[in-house]
Structure 1
Amino acid sequence: MPVPLRHCSRPRRPSMRVAYVTFEDREVDTEIPVVLGAWAAEGLDGEALRWDDAEADWSAFDAAVIRSTWDYVPRRAEFTAWARRTSQVTRLFNPAGVIERNTDKTYLRDLAAAGIPIVPTEWFGPGDEPVLANDWAETVVKPNVSVGAQDTSRHDSREGATAAIRAIQESGRTAMVQPYLDMVEAEGETSLLFFGGRYSHAVRRPAMLARDGSGALATGDPREAAADQLELARAVLAEIGEPLLYARVDLVRSASGDPLLIELELTEPHLFLAAHEKAPARFAGALRDLLA
């Protein structure tokens, strides 16, 4: 008697729960639906939750991915404590130690000491006398803890820069003073995106402090990264000792044309996923690989 045929199906990959960590005003994060859709295609069940949601059970997730936690600045100690606690009950990306260091821009001093070329910077901590050593025609003053160019200003006088420094110092933060690079007006910043340590795509971002007010946080046009930019970005990431799900390396060019690091975004950067059709899948695939 013939043996009846049985229907054979390929085993499905088990679904994994992943928290997309955001903040109260999540509607301003346009990447949430894009990411959740890409995660679903990889068998990842995503859910957007506030980082400070007292009812959230982070242990119920296979991973928590920090994304748009853009309200942490005045609560940085609370935020980094949350990251440490959450990392004890689930996989946290990026890791808590990386988050704690990256949310204080003095990490740039460490990278400079390691030989990474950064935009020239003078540092003034609380209590330091704000006496500028360099005679830059225009300066940018920013705090060591901020998001989205918050409390960042451009000055063409030493008096204006000094007043901005003092205001930052009075808030208990360290002031950073940098020269305003004219090349940024024409070329903009180049942001290179890496997922799981692999280069994904790059965008050109307008100068945030352009006189015409054209700068915008989430504005970015697709751009081909140059070889020297890729080389510097990879050298920067090589200095980070932990695996990263995502990284955004923001570069500008000096007057001589050399790339300089202006910021390394490892906490809550906009990823410009709309700039490349394969970017959402690359991001989701990198997460799946890290969880495998």
Structure 2
Amino acid sequence: MTHHHQPTRGKPRVALVTCAELPDLDPDDRLLLDPLARRGVTVEVVDWAEPTADWRAYDLAVLRSPWDYALRRDEFVAWASEVPALANPADVVRWNTDKRYLGELSTAGVPTVPTSWIAPGESWRPPATRGEYVVKPAVSAGSQDTGRYDLADPEHRELARAHVRRLSAAGRLAMVQPYLDAVDTAGETALLFVAGPDGPTFSHAIRKGPMLTGPDLGLDGLHRPEEVTARTATPAQLAVADRALAAVPGGPGRLLYARVDLIPGPDGAPVLVELELTEPSLFLAHATGAADRLADAILAQLGRAAG
């Protein structure tokens, strides 16, 4: 669905890219509309899969909530490559929508959660170890098709194997990670960055409480509602974020926004869980001025494109 606003001649036109399920954007993203309007930007909300959309008509298309792409990633990546001006860029989208990028970041020296990969058709036996593990697909949005398993429990071990088999049968690459217990106490920290004159500039941080409570049973999974509060980032967290952003292919200077998700590892040091560069929630409501900072970054990107 497209929301058309008659542009004033000379005003830049920006598409905020969503999906059919969110024709009016996610509520948090709607906080961006007024700051952009005050900066003289004409905004339209457009479903990425809308066949009649003319992406050449926009000075910039900003990915916000195209959250239905996971089961048709190839189509989504192909679409991104055809959009003349996309933020974040199409090659970043291709790289970031497959979580195998975590392996590349680990090789580059970024502390990441250890991950095992199970290709479709490959047999898998849960590790002969105690502790909890997370099973999820390498291509997913949010916590879709994600489960938490206590491998000391025989029933959980079988459910974990069934989860991997289910992903395999659907032709999806599965990933298995140890569950980091600190998420139940310290929570997950998301660091939000927006483009600045010298690359990504820290905007704000939030804390997310634990969401996974048990196995994924092939339905909606079992998750808690998302609990989000403001948080002050630590120097150690910012240092890991800087290392992760520096390792982005093509360099971090092309990014309009970035979200770096961290959890304390077994030794308490921050470990990267995900680097969100495609369609992350930016939690604009949880920091004063966050929507204005993103609007300024969009305006600056429009200015560079025009120049």
Q: TM-score, normalised by structure 2?
A: 0.85
Per the alignment, residue 205 of structure 1 pairs with 208
Query: What residue is the counterpart of 2:168 in the other structure?
Result: 169
Task: Give the fraction of aligned pairs with identical amino acids, expressed as a percent.
Answer: 47
Structure-2 change in CA distance of 1:128 and 1:184 (3 Å): same
Match of 1:99 among 93, 99, 110: 93
1:116-131 to structure 2, matched below 5 A, reads: 116-131=110-125
TM-score between both structures, scaled by the size of structure 1: 0.90
Write the distance in 2 (CA, Å) between the matches of 1:234 and 1:98: 17
Structure 1 residue ranges, 4+ long, deviating more than 2 angstroms after superposition: 131-134, 157-160, 213-217
2:69 maps to: 72
Aligned residue pairs total 275
Cα offsets for 1:48-75 (capped at 9, x unmatched)? 0100111111111100001100111111
1:22 aligns with 2:18: yes
| Correspondence for 1:82 | 79
> In the alignment, is the contact (CA less than 8 A) between 2:18 and 2:25 conserved in 1?
no
Structure 2's unaligned 5+ residue stretches are 1-8, 152-156, 215-221
**Corresponding residue number in structure 2 for 1:193:** 192
2:19 is aligned with what amino acid? F
CA deviation string 1:16-49 (max 9, x = no partner)? 1000000112146113421111111222111101
Select between 119-128 and 224-233 the one with higher mean Cα deviation. Answer: 119-128
Are 2:148 and 2:213, in contact at CA under 8 Å, matched by a contact in 1? no
Counterpart AA for 2:134: V
Shift of 1:136: 4.2
Give unmatched runs, 5+ long, in structure 1.
1-12
User: Match of 2:273?
Assistant: 262
Q: What SS does structure 1 have at the residue aligned with 2:31?
A: helix
1:146 to 140, 146, 155: 140
Quote the residue 2:34 is aligned against.
Answer: 37
Answer yes or no: is the 8 Å Cα contact 1:191–1:205 preserved in 2. Answer: yes
Pair 1:134–1:225, CA change in 2 (3 A): farther
Post-superposition Cα deviations, 1:235-290, rounded to whole Å, max 9, x if no partner, equal 10001124100111000001210100001111111100000111000001111112
Using the alignment, how far apart are the partners of 1:260 and 1:14 within structure 2? 46
CA contact (8 A) 1:36 1:47 kept: no
